[in-house]
């Protein structure tokens, strides 16, 4: 009897440990990493952004394939260790770090999350999409895509075209519809609303205000408004209609029969029923805030619906984006806990004391080899060179009893007192250890990093001449 089978690319063992599967995907991902190693070194080779694209588009999908099946196995220490070994080398390449840099520092400076947490995140999102109850959703119901099996046959589909209108004059010039219906959605003060404004000629005859749950998106609001407009058309006795929306994304979703969003599917069903009633409906995209009276009116109504509505929401299905956002928050909190409680990355923590803030900031920093050396302490500094037997003396030339480390160079070394005084005047703040994190997050980040690079380059050049 076979103890393992391979089903759709997943190796399943008789004890459901998935050890073999994880070992195989790690081996496959490491093979890609080894190819990268030949073309990416600390001082030359592939740009870090290129390496990150390869990681996100190739390596991560290899590991995350069918993660919802074997996600529980990723919490075992042995599996986590394998994933860390894989990810550490790749993260070091992304931020141009030395091989001695810790996993915590490499991941943070590369701007990527631990693989075991990403596996858990992907599995959670898949389960939520399939309707499995999730703690983070509470009593909310997930918005699920319609089944492709319920889609109409291509021959039975209603072909839709989207016109473009830029101003009121174009609407007046092409007024070939008995009834014009303007739709809009709005999110304001954390609340969401949608509106439908119905016009005959130059007179507004009816309005609809629609409330959505606070966790809904403007995209959902725009789709809901268009859907309700088609419902009104089904009830109307007129023969020609124009639906005007300033959301091209919503209109394209309705037009695309391959998109199975429930509101888009319902809208297309309504349009199909309308065509059987021998009514004509034209869809138009209009430029927002261009002085078009109907659009401005729909926008005002949507904001009123969002702010003032106290009724039960007309639409309260939880969007996928809400689940993604909250799943990412859980992942970042766990990563931050690991980062802060870890025994490594002490120099990195001086620049980035909080991993959550760093994850949002690091892409603005523009990492390169010298900045990575500064933020890890692993570079051409006497203390580091002495640790790996590359230099006899770990002390700074300013004082034989003081180690030449990154904090010493940036904060205390009297050799760089003039540079330090200049940057403190420019930033209007003292350069202190507990203030560096705030400086990195602020507007003066670039000036401070240039100061750091200047001092580091001088130190590294001096040490090269003395090694």
Residues in the chain: 467
In the predicted model, what is the mean pLDDT of residues 70-90?
91
What is the structure's pLDDT at 175?
Answer: 66
Query: Model pTM?
Result: 0.83
What is the structure's pLDDT at 132?
Answer: 77
In the predicted model, what is the mean pLDDT of residues 102-112?
94
Could you give the CA distance from residue 116 to residue 433 in angstroms, rounded to a whole number?
Answer: 32
Confidence bin at 110 (pLDDT 50/70/90): very high
pLDDT digits (tens, 9 = 90+) for 367-407: 889 999 999 999 999 999 999 888 888 999 998 899 999 99
| H/E stretch holding 210 | strand 203-212
| Domain residue extents for the chain | 4-139, 148-318, 379-466
For 307-416, strand residue ranges (E) read 317-318, 395-396, 399-403
In the predicted model, what is the mean pLDDT of residues 41-58?
84
* Higher-scoring residue by pLDDT: 151, 408: 408
What is the structure's pLDDT at 246?
Answer: 93
Token pair for 96: 């141009």
Token pair for 372: 């990575």
- Greatest C-alpha distance within the chain: 94
Helix locations, 377-442, DSSP H: 382-387, 406-407, 417-427, 436-441
pLDDT at 247 over 90: yes
Radius of gyration of the chain (CA): 29
What is the structure's pLDDT at 403?
Answer: 92
In the predicted model, what is the mean pLDDT of residues 193-213?
93
pLDDT digits (tens, 9 = 90+) for 294-310: 999 999 999 999 998 88
What residues are paired with 209 via a beta bridge? 195
pLDDT at 142 over 70: yes
What residues are paired with 199 via a beta bridge? 180, 204
pLDDT digits (tens, 9 = 90+) for 417-436: 999 999 999 999 899 999 99
Confidence bin at 245 (pLDDT 50/70/90): very high
Could you give the CA distance from residue 142 to residue 133 in angstroms, rounded to a whole number?
Answer: 9
What is the structure's pLDDT at 1?
Answer: 64
In the predicted model, what is the mean pLDDT of residues 175-199?
92
pLDDT at 467 over 60: no
Q: What fold, for 148-318?
A: Nucleotidyltransferase; domain 5 (3.30.420)
Of residues 420, 214, 448, the one with CA closest to residue 351: 448
Confidence bin at 351 (pLDDT 50/70/90): very high
What is the structure's pLDDT at 306?
Answer: 93
pLDDT at 266 over 60: yes
DSSP tag of 319:
P
What is the structure's pLDDT at 241?
Answer: 93
Could you give the CA distance from residue 70 to residue 115 in angstroms, rounded to a whole number?
Answer: 13
pLDDT at 271 over 80: yes
Confidence bin at 285 (pLDDT 50/70/90): very high
* Higher-scoring residue by pLDDT: 455, 175: 455
Average pLDDT of the residues of the chain: 90
Confidence bin at 84 (pLDDT 50/70/90): very high
DSSP state string for 89-134: HHHHHHTT--TTS-HHHHHHHHT---HHHHHHHHHHHHHHHTT---
Own/partner long-range contacts of 34-37 (Cβ < 8 Å, ≥24 apart): 36/90, 36/93, 37/89, 37/93
**How many H helices and E strands in the chain?**
21, 12
Confidence bin at 45 (pLDDT 50/70/90): confident
């Amino acid at each position: 009897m076979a103890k393992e089978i391979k089903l759709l690319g997943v190796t399943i063992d008789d004890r459901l440990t998935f050890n073999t599967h994880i070992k195989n995907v790690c081996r496959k991902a490491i093979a890609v990493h080894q190819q990268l190693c030949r073309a990416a070194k600390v001082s030359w080779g592939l740009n870090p952004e290129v390496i990150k694209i390869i990681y996100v588009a190739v390596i991560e999908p290899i590991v995350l394939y069918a993660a919802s099946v074997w996600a529980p196995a990723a919490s075992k220490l042995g599996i986590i260790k394998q994933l860390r070994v894989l990810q550490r080398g790749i993260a070091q390449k992304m931020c141009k770090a030395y091989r001695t840099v810790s996993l915590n520092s490499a991941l943070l400076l590369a701007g990527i999350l631990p693989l075991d947490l990403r596996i858990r995140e992907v599995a959670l999102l898949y389960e939520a999409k399939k309707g499995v109850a999730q703690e983070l959703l509470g009593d909310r119901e997930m918005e699920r895509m319609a089944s492709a099996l319920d889609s109409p046959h291509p021959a039975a589909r209603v072909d839709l075209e989207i016109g473009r209108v830029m101003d009121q004059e174009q609407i007046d010039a092409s007024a070939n519809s008995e009834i014009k219906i303007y739709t809009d959605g709005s999110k304001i003060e954390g609340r969401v609303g949608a509106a439908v404004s119905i016009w005959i000629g130059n007179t507004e005859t009816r309005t609809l205000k629609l409330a959505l749950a606070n966790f809904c998106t403007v995209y959902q609001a725009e789709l809901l408004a268009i859907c309700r407009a088609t419902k009104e058309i089904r009830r109307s006795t007129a023969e020609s209609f124009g639906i005007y929306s300033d959301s091209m994304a919503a209109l394209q979703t309705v037009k695309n029969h391959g998109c199975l969003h429930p509101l888009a599917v319902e809208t297309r069903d309504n349009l199909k029923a309308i065509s059987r009633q021998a009514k004509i409906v034209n869809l138009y995209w209009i430029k927002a805030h261009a002085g078009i009276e109907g659009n401005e009116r729909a926008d005002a109504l949507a904001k009123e619906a969002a702010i003032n509505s106290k009724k039960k929401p007309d639409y309260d299905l939880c969007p996928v984006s809400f689940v993604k956002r909250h799943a990412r928050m859980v992942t970042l909190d766990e990563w931050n806990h690991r980062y802060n409680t870890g025994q490594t990355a002490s120099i990195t923590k001086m620049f980035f004391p909080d991993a959550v803030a760093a994850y949002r900031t690091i892409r603005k920093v523009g990492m390169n080899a010298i900045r990575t050396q500064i933020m890890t302490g692993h570079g051409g500094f006497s203390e580091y060179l002495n640790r790996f037997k590359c230099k006899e003396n770990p002390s700074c030339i300013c004082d034989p009893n003081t180690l030449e480390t990154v904090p010493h160079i940036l904060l205390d070394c009297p050799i760089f007192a003039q540079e330090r005084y200049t940057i403190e005047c420019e930033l209007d703040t003292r350069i202190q250890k507990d203030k560096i994190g705030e400086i990195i997050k602020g507007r003066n980040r670039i000036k401070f990093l240039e100061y750091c690079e200047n001092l580091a380059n001088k130190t590294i050049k001096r040490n090269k001449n003395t090694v």
